[in-house]
Amino acid sequence: MLYIVGTPIGNMQDMTMRAIETLKGVDVILCEDTRQTSKLVVRFELNKKLVSLHQHTSDDKTKMLLEEYENIAYVSDAGTPGISDPGGKLVQLAIEAGHDVVPIPGPSAVATALSVSAFPADKFFFLGFMPKKGQQRTFDLIKDSQYTVCFYESPHRIIKTLEKLKTELESDRQMMVARELTKKFETIYRGTAEQILEQVKEKGEFTIVISPKK
């Protein structure tokens, strides 16, 4: 059995009871980064072996781990595995090897941000991280989107991306920038790209939500 376990995106109190119970019950926890997941092990007294598994782990090693352990949990550094995070390949290999795969849901930055955006969220476009190359296509897509658009951005590029949104989108296009969701310095910026640029601090983790084209 492979359990894909969602973990907090900052605030440890968002760890679910089912996630704790699951992590305590498995033979091994595979994780994106053992240093990060050790914090969960200590905090929730999981007392469990951690083995690292990330996007550079070979398929052979992944298959070996799937053979070696009967009950396995996978966690990424934060949030829901597979959502702009490793985990997808593991699920694919586990299914091919005949394992049952069980989702243990938890927070995800994109859903958390959307839930307070005030923009329609019955349908939305999620773009993952803004690509580093070929961005123009992405900006064109955002510009013409009939749906709310969400994407992740790093602190190093948040200003540059907002500046580009300011020049590419209609000047009154509304957006929301969620910084450090669920953490001590959580800040929600609302308004146009220009208004947000005047306030935003270039530090922390960011999720951007943009209203649909009018």
Chain residues in the site for ligand SAM (CB under 6 A): 9-10, 76, 78-80, 83-85, 108-109, 152-154, 178, 180-183, 205-207
The percent helix, strand, coil of the chain (3-state, each to 5) is 35, 20, 45
Q: 156-188 in b/e burial notation, b at 16+ Cβ within 10 A?
A: eebeebbebbbebbeeebbbbbbbbbbeeeeee
**Which residue, 109 or 200, is less far from ligand SAM as judged by CB?**
109
Distance separating alpha carbons of residues 203 and 181, to the nearest angstrom? 12
CB of 17 to ligand SAM, least distance (A): 19
**Which residue, 146 or 154, is less far from ligand SAM as judged by CB?**
154
CB of 111 to ligand SAM, least distance (A): 8
Distance separating alpha carbons of residues 145 and 196, to the nearest angstrom? 20
**Which residue, 79 or 212, is less far from ligand SAM as judged by CB?**
79
Burial (CB < 10 A; 0-12, 13-18, 19+), residue 137, is exposed
**Which residue, 30 or 178, is less far from ligand SAM as judged by CB?**
178
CB of 47 to ligand SAM, least distance (A): 25
CB of 199 to ligand SAM, least distance (A): 16
